[in-house]
Structure 1
């Protein structure tokens, strides 16, 4: 039965995405089997992205989540698609209360016994679950219940995605094929984690403990006795939606202070704690009447290791210092930029991004604009983006968007710079630099001592004519091979033209005709090799060494 459902879904998915696949195939080959690539304008990409979003919404929960994940992967899709998918909202009508009640009672027992009072009208509905309010031991609580029978649909859709992946891989290059495989594996893991409310309860409790000393942040407490794999009961913490600036203004709340609290909290989560709330859209953020920022929905949460945390600190420090080379080095070390990318071009992109972001205020520039420009380049220079780092990059841009909604003049980098200074990251960096410099000095001294005898041996071999250099040409793109073919066909064409002329002069008409036809064919091959479009230029390299005979 499960296989039959998966087959039906596979047919539906193929039918939905067939026009987009057809269009993409036409982009690669104008007449499908022959012809060169055709250019696609940004407007056309945006229209296709809008159709993609409509299809994902129609296909339901699994594909809504897939679209949200793809919105964090600029290494897989062009910027126009990433921007459109970022608007994909995880909001769908709640399921019938009767069906949801079965799930709830299977986890916590009869509703009338488990709760003092329960409101059967859901206050929000998402693709995987829905939230109700209730009273427990005299306290108001929020009860998150997984959608009925969602497991079977998710498993069928994941099977469809596995079946569809080989088809998609035939349309992309090797680098992007690697990224797509990673996305498929990551999506399967992430979706199952998000369906497990017991994991969400653990992440919520850990993050809540990390920010417990901050009076400006509120995270709901978990009621473990009334929670499980499919049900999560939390403290009910009401507040004004963080994007409702008119209501915040009416309440007299300092919106700049709220934005600063939001950014500082995320900096602490990512840089200091290593575990963070990864879905900061306005629906998951609220503000209480006293200005406290409230976080909801920890189903999408992430972790970062110490190495990634250090790279993020280095990135912010480089941006604050406007050190373009340091920015590029950090992006390469983080894996967000290909080492093979043209550094001169990327440096220009960074300089333009910073200059454009400054505006009239020389001191103000925004990370969102820098990251978005880098994301544009990511698609042109495919890379292998680590999953958690993709979440971090997306969180940074979404958080800054929320901050700018609260305060259009908010300086994201300035707040980050102040935070790093207060936490001592600049001092730590200076100590590490001094230590690293000392280590390099010792290493250089040792190398100098070893250099003299090696240099003497090399000079002795030169005196004995026993020194040679071995060179190997690296040509991964086949540029030299194409050049050699052009030279050969060019020589053959020239020789054929001369031979045809000589044979014609000596009245050997048949032989002249035969050689002439062959020469024309060789000429066409030579002409075609120069007319054929190439995706890039090769840069042959030399590897040198020495040895003894």
Structure 2
């Protein structure tokens, strides 16, 4: 039954994405079977990204989550698609209360007995669950219930994605195919983790413990006796939505202080704690009247290992010092930038990013713009992004956007630099630089001793006419390969024309027709080689209209 449902779902998904598939095939070969590649403009990519967004909304919860994950992967999608999909927030109409009640009572017990009060109208809906308010022993709580029947739908959709992957990989480069394969594994792991409210409770408790001494951060506590893998009950902590700057001003909240607190909180989570809340869009952040920031929804959370933490520190220090070479070295070590990339070109990109992003003062530039430039380049030079690193990059840009919403003049890098200095990371980086410089001097001294004998041996071989040099030709653009094909096609065309003329003159019309056909085919492919290369309907489960209606409530 599960496999049959997956087959039906595959047909629906294929039909939904068919227009985009045909458009992509036409880009590669204008009329599918013949013709040159079609040039795709940025405006065309934006229109297709909007169509992709509509398709994801139509296909429902699993594909909404897939779209959110794709928005963190500039190594797979062009920048225009990433920009459009970034607006795909996890807000969908809640499921029917009676269906949700069955899940709640199967896990926690009778609603009227387990809770003092329970409001059956959900306060928020998400693709995998919905949240209700209730009371336990007089204390207000928020009860998160997994969407009824979501498990079977997700498993069917994961099968569909796995089946579709080999088809998609046939039309993309090898590096991007590898990224897609990794993305499928990452997505399956991520969405199953998000459906496991037991894991979310553990991550929430761990992060809450890390901020136990910080009175500027509020994280709801979990009611373990009322929580399971499908139900999560937490303390209800109200606050003003962090992007509602008018209401924050009316309540007298210092928005700059809130922005600084938010950035410092994420720096602590990523650099020091190694476990972080990974979905910081405004719907998951609130502010209390005293400036305390409240975090909601820990379903999407991640961990950063020591290597990633250390390299992120190196990146921030390099950005603060405007050390382009150090920035590139850090990106290569992280795997974000290919070692084969043209360093001179990338250095120009980074210099341009910093020049565009900064103002008159040296440190008035923003990490989001720098990362954005790098992400644009990542698509042009496809490579693999580690899953947690992609999540960290996404968190950094979203947090910076929230901070700028709170304070348009907020200097992200300045605050990060101060934080690194206060926590001793910058001094540690300076000590490491001194140690590395000392090691470089030691290696240079050793080389000074080893080079003269080697140089003398080389000169002796030159004197004996015994020195050979091997040169490898780098042909990354396949120029030699195309030239060889043109020579072969040209020779084949010449021979075919001569053969056709001879056979026709000798009255061998059938053989002449065969060689004429061979000449025509050769001429067609030779002509094409010189052309300049240019770069079942589903019922919508959710639409942009009902998303907008929910956001405006």
TM-score where L is the length of structure 2: 0.87
Q: Is 1:283 paired with 2:283?
A: yes
Q: CA contact under 8 A between 1:490 and 1:526: conserved in structure 2?
A: no
> Is 1:404 the equivalent of 2:404?
yes
Shift of 1:116: 2.4
Deviates more, 1:486-495 or 1:31-40: 486-495
Give the number of aligned pairs: 526
| Structure 1: runs of 5+ lacking an equivalent | 501-508, 537-549
| Distance in 1 (alpha carbons) for counterparts of 2:38 and 2:488 | 31
2:538 aligns to what? Answer: none
Greater displacement, 365-374 / 113-122: 113-122
Deviation at 1:58, TM superposition (A): 1.2
CA contact (8 A) 2:94 2:124 kept: yes
Tell me the residue number matched to 2:365. 365
Q: Distance in 1 between matches of 2:20 and 2:356?
A: 34
- Are 1:202 and 2:202 matched, yes or no? yes
Aligned equivalents of 2:330 and 2:235: distance in 1? 41
Against the structure 1 CA distance between its residues 358 and 446, is the aligned structure 2 distance closer, same or farther, given a 3 Å change threshold? Answer: closer
Cα distance, 1:454 vs structure 2: 5.2
Local SS of the residue matching 2:162: helix
Q: Which runs of 5+ in 2 are unaligned?
A: 500-504, 507-511, 536-553
Quick check: 251-260 or 30-39, which moved more? 30-39
Tell me, in whole angstroms, the C-alpha distance in 1 between the residues paired with 2:83 and 2:287.
27
Query: CA offset at residue 527 of structure 1?
Result: 6.0
- Name 2:141's counterpart in structure 1: 141
Q: Shift of residue 109 of structure 1? A: 2.1
**Taking structure 1 as reference, are residues 494 and 111 closer, same or farther at Cα in structure 2, changes over 3 Å only?**
closer
CA distance in 2, matches of 1:519, 1:32: 22
Q: Tell me the CA shift for residue 122 of structure 1.
A: 1.3
Does the aligned pair in 2 maintain the 1:320–1:417 contact within 8 Å?
yes
* 1:404-463, Cα deviation, whole Å (9 max, x unpaired): 111111111111111111111111011112222333344444455555665565566556
- Summarize the alignment of residues 333-412 of structure 1 with structure 2, pairs less than 5 Å apart: 333-412=333-412
TM norm structure 1: 0.88
Deviation, 1:316, is 1.2
- Residue 114, structure 1, aligned to residue 114, structure 2: yes
Q: Distance in 1 between matches of 2:438 and 2:359?
A: 41
Q: Distance in 2 between matches of 1:255 and 1:328?
A: 34
Pairwise CA distance, 1:533: 3.9
Alignment pair present for 1:17 and 2:17: yes
Please say if 1:263 is aligned against 2:263.
yes
Deviation at 1:49, TM superposition (A): 1.0
Farther off after superposition, 438-447 or 248-257 = 438-447
Aligned to 2:545: none
Residue 463 and residue 496 in structure 1: after superposition, are their counterparts in 2 closer, same or farther (change >3 A)?
A: farther
Q: Are 2:326 and 1:329 aligned?
A: no
Asked if structure 1 preserves the Cα contact closer than 8 Å seen for 2:320 and 2:363, the reply is no
TM-aligned CA deviation for residue 359 of structure 1: 3.9
SS in 1 for 2:183: helix
Local SS of the residue matching 2:279: coil
1:482, distance to aligned residue in structure 2 (A)? 3.5
Cα deviation, 1:492-546, whole Å, max 9, x if unaligned, reads 999999x99xxxxxxxx98xxx9xx99998995896486144589xxxxxxxxxx
Aligned alpha-carbon RMSD (Å):
3.0
- For 2:215, the equivalent position in structure 1 comes to 215
Larger RCO, structures 1/2 (Cα 8 Å, 6+ apart): 2
Given that residues 363 and 413 in structure 2 are in contact (C-alpha distance below 8 angstroms), is that contact kept between their aligned partners in structure 1?
no
Partner residue, 1:40: 40
Q: Give 1:84-95 correspondences, 5 Å limit.
A: 84-95=84-95
- Shift in Å at residue 115 of structure 1? 2.2
